[in-house]
Amino acid sequence: MHEQSITELAAGLREKGFSSRELTEHYLARIERLDPALNSYITVSADTALAAADAADARIAAGDAGPLTGIPIAHKDIFLTEGLKTTCGSRMLDNFVAPFDATVVERLAAAGVVVLGKLNMDEFAMGSSNETSYYGPVRNPWDTTRVPGGSSGGSAAAVAAGLCAAASGTDTGGSIRQPAAFCGITGIKPTYGRCSRWGMIAFASSLDQAGVLTRSAADAALLLGAMAGFDERDSTSASEPVPDYGATLTDDIAGLRIGLPKEYFGEGLDAGVEASVRAGLAELEKLGASITDISLPNAPLSVPAYYVVAPAECSSNLARFDGVRYGHRCEAPQDLEDLYKRSRAEGFGAEVKRRIMIGTYALSAGYFDAYYLKAQQLRHLIADDFRRAFEQVDLIMGPTTPTTAFPLGAKTDDPVAMYLNDIYTIATNLAGLPGLSVPVAPVDGLPVGLQMIGNYFAEGRLLNVAHRLQQATDWHRAVPPGFA
């Protein structure tokens, strides 16, 4: 059952081939048996999942079921989930039980999904390898000596290994697309504001965006359609109407104009990854798309701009974790200052502390204009590059990552090398554009992702093109050895 698409699972539920309880028990058994090798889950909520499955079966029996009713999924542990521990992968929130649901969780629950549990992640979404989690690293199901990517590494690993039918994730600088590429699945980050951030623990508020990780673009269309839409509780939520993403999945892509940024095919790109990406592009040409070279001249500056803007926002957002109201609190503080210092020193990991310090420095008197203001100016230049590019082409494509998944520990001592792993994904977040990673041909048995970038609110077009590629190929159907 775990190798079936969400559409196939929904059909099986409707036709009484199996019940949601049986399906949920199947996934729970796989988690118990297989997840110790991956560490993709922080919390498994078996009792509440089975109760939700029984409720879904009742809805199906009453003829009140939608396409997601009874489908077992899991949430990245950055989304507040009422009654469940929500940790953000940090010791700081190890004892925190969410008092309400995030909007994303709430909307998917209304659609009838069954929540299997909460998925591991880089601490406060800060990382590109899922090695900064307080609960230990997640391992890539294609090779358990390698990283799954981050920060949504638990989500990607669980979907790839068949430990849930789909998973939520968040993307601040590539944290859905990069792990999707490393684990051989489909991941989409919609336009900034398309999905509500209410109840999603903030890292960098002007960059964070919720999205989904699935086995296919068709599955992603179902999940995103249920999640997306305006939310009055989120001041950054977009009021743009949400189309029926499923209705345009099979649209013809003849005449589609694809732009390839020369900056994404230069030094640092692995030759095998480039060959695989170009093979995927060749399949799109067979379907009638045309390809032209373009330039995003400020794209190489996206990494330094991002690593000023994002830490600055994180230093502000994480100031709330002080040991007073909730979260980790040090033992026997001597006074208020001691409470703040020791609670934060004990509760945050090394990468989070590094980014808080960088951000605080960039925002400090005397350095704000030199660093933060300059980074924001660069951000506008990067967005202008995309605007000009979309006057010439419909979609922009290239590699999601410069290499395949790297070994665990390979970059933990070199933060800059780790940061450069997001060199092709960060610009999309700085501009607020939608991006999607879809699997193409593997290299030496490891997955590779083709990244597709669309204009604002062009999620439907991205899903359409990805689906047509998946109709023509079977790269997305590959299953990691040992997880069939």
Please list, residue by residue across 123-158, b when 16 or more beta carbons sit within 10 angstroms of its beta carbon and e when fewer do: bbbbbbbbbbbbbebbbbbbbbebbbbbbbbbbbbb
140 domain-assigned: yes
Residue 151, preceding peptide bond in cis (omega within 30° of 0): yes
51 domain-assigned: yes
What is the pLDDT at residue 194? 98
Q: pTM here?
A: 0.96
User: Which 3 state secondary structure label does DSSP give 442?
Assistant: strand
What is the pLDDT at residue 366? 86
Q: Are 204 and 310 in contact (CB under 8 A)?
A: yes
What is the pLDDT at residue 419? 85
| Token pair in block for residue 199 | 């109840």
* Structural domain for 156, as ranges: 6-257+434-477
What is the pLDDT at residue 365? 86
From the list 222, 211, 166, 168, the residue with the least C-alpha distance to 27 is: 166
Residues 6 or more apart whose CB falls under 8 angstroms from that of 143 comprise 405, 445, 446
- State the Cα–Cα distance between residues 176 and 118, nearest whole angstrom: 16
484 domain-assigned: no
- Return the active site residues: 76, 151, 175
Q: Are 234 and 198 in contact (CB under 8 A)?
A: yes
What is the pLDDT at residue 351? 95
**CATH code for the domain of 36:** 3.90.1300.10
341 domain-assigned: no
From the list 227, 150, 157, 154, the residue with the least C-alpha distance to 185 is: 157
Q: Please give the single-letter amino acid code of residue 263.
A: E
410 domain-assigned: no
364 domain-assigned: no
179 domain-assigned: yes
What is the pLDDT at residue 251? 98
390 domain-assigned: no
Q: What is the pLDDT along the chain (484 residues), one digit of tens a residue?
A: 899 999 999 999 999 999 999 999 999 999 999 999 999 999 999 999 999 999 999 999 999 999 999 999 999 999 999 999 999 999 999 999 999 999 999 999 999 999 999 999 999 999 999 999 999 999 999 999 999 999 999 999 999 999 999 999 999 999 999 999 999 999 999 999 999 999 999 999 999 999 999 999 999 999 999 999 999 999 999 999 999 999 999 999 999 999 999 999 999 999 999 999 999 999 999 999 999 999 999 999 999 999 999 999 999 999 999 999 899 999 999 999 999 999 999 999 999 999 999 999 999 988 898 899 999 999 999 999 999 999 999 999 999 999 999 999 999 888 888 888 899 999 999 999 999 999 999 999 999 999 999 999 999 999 999 999 999 999 999 999 999 8
Q: What's the domain count of the chain?
A: 1
Sign of the torsion formed by the C-alpha atoms of 405, 407, 412 and 413: negative
